[in-house]
Amino acid sequence: MPEEPDRKQFDHAMLLDRILSGVRDLLLAKGLDPPLLGPTTILVKGDTGIDSLDLAALLVELELFCDVDPFADGFKDFRTAAELANLYVAATGR
């Protein structure tokens, strides 16, 4: 049986930092001042200033960075930056 190709593995702190940096960059690109961002920052229906298109762009960037799509089998529920990081950590097998 052929072996599964190695997947990149990322820890939670690294992914959380990447997510928060991505949100900050999206807000700055829209000309908005980013609020204080952290693990409990609400990404879905929050008042950070990002919309569904911004969130989709962030997910694409994360998929390219991690080389994995935790949503390949359908949408998984998350609201905060930490919950999103958890999805990517689980998908990378760490």
pLDDT digits (tens, 9 = 90+) for 11-42: 899 999 999 999 999 999 999 999 999 999 99
Nearest C-alpha neighbor of 76 from the set 85, 30, 67: 85
Strand (E) or helix (H) holding 67: none
Alpha-carbon distance 77 to 71, whole Å? Answer: 10
DSSP alpha helix (H) spans, 1-94: 12-29, 52-66, 81-91
No. of helices (H) and no. of strands (E), the chain? 3, 0
Contact at 8 Å (CB) between 66 and 91? yes
CATH 1.10.1200.10 for domain 12-91, yes or no, is yes
Q: In the chain, where are the structural domains located?
A: 12-91
pTM: 0.85
Does pLDDT of 1 surpass 70? no
pLDDT digits 0-9 by tens, 68-88: 999 998 889 999 999 999 999
